[in-house]
A and B are shown apart, each in its own frame.
Chain A
Amino acid sequence: MDRFLFLTFDGLSRGAVYAAFALALVLIWRAGRIVNFAQGAMAVAAAYVAYSVTAVTGSYWLGFGAALLAGLLLGAIVDVAVMRLVDHRSPLNPVIVALGLVLLIQAVLGMVYGNEYLPARTPFSRSALAVGGTPVLSPYDLFVFATVGVVGAALVWIFTRTAIGLRMRAAAFAPEVSRLLGVNVGGMLTLGWALASGVGALAAMLIIPTELGLHPHAMDLVFVSAFTAAVLGGLDSPPGAVVGGLGVGLLLSYVSGYAGGDLIPLAVLALLLTVLLLRPGGLFAPVTARRV
Chain B
Amino acid sequence: MGGDLLTAEALAAGYGPVPVLHNVDLRVPTGTIAAVIGANGAGKTTLLRALSGMLRPTAGRIVFDGRDLRGTPVEQLVRRGVAHVPEGRGVIGELTVAENLRLGALWRRDRAAAASALDEVYQLFEPLARRRRHLGHQLSGGERQMLALGRALVGRPRLLLLDEPSLGLAPRVVAQTMALLRQLCDDTGLTVLLVEQNVRSALAVADQGIVMSLGRVVLAAPAARLRDDAELRHAYLGF
Contacts and interface: CB of A to CB of B under 8 A. Distances in A.
Interface of A: 163, 166-167, 169-170, 173-174, 176-185
A153 B54 CA distance: 37
B94 A173 contact: yes
Contacts of B102: 163, 166
Contacts of A179: 54, 74-75
Interface in B83-103: 83-84, 86, 90, 92-95, 99, 102-103
Given A180-B74, A182-B77, A167 B86 contact: no
A180 B52 contact: yes
B95 A170 contact: yes
Contacts of A181: 78, 103-104, 106-107, 151, 155
Dominant SS among interface residues on chain B: mixed
16 contacts: A169-B99, A170-B95, A170-B103, A174-B90, A176-B86, A178-B103, A180-B52, A180-B74, A180-B84, A180-B86, A180-B90, A181-B103, A182-B76, A182-B155, A183-B103, A184-B75
A176 B54 contact: yes
Contacts of A166: 95, 99, 102-103, 106
Given A169-B94, A181-B104, A184-B75, 8 more contacts: A167-B103, A170-B103, A173-B95, A177-B92, A180-B74, A180-B83, A182-B155, A183-B107
Nearest to A186: B75
B79 interface: yes
Interface size class of B (residues with CB under 8 A): 20 to 34
Contacts of B75: 179, 182-185
A174 B107 contact: no
Nearest to A173: B94
B52 A173 contact: no
B54 A169 contact: no
B101 to A, nearest CB: 10
B90 to A, nearest CB: 4
A170 B92 contact: yes
Contacts of B92: 170, 173-174, 177-178
A-B pairs, 3 with minimum CB distance: A182-B107, A177-B90, A182-B78
Nearest to B74: A179
B164 to A, nearest CB: 15
Interface string B152-176: 0001000000000000000000000
A169 B104 CA distance: 14
Contact of A167 (B76, B90, B93, B106): B106
Nearest to A169: B95
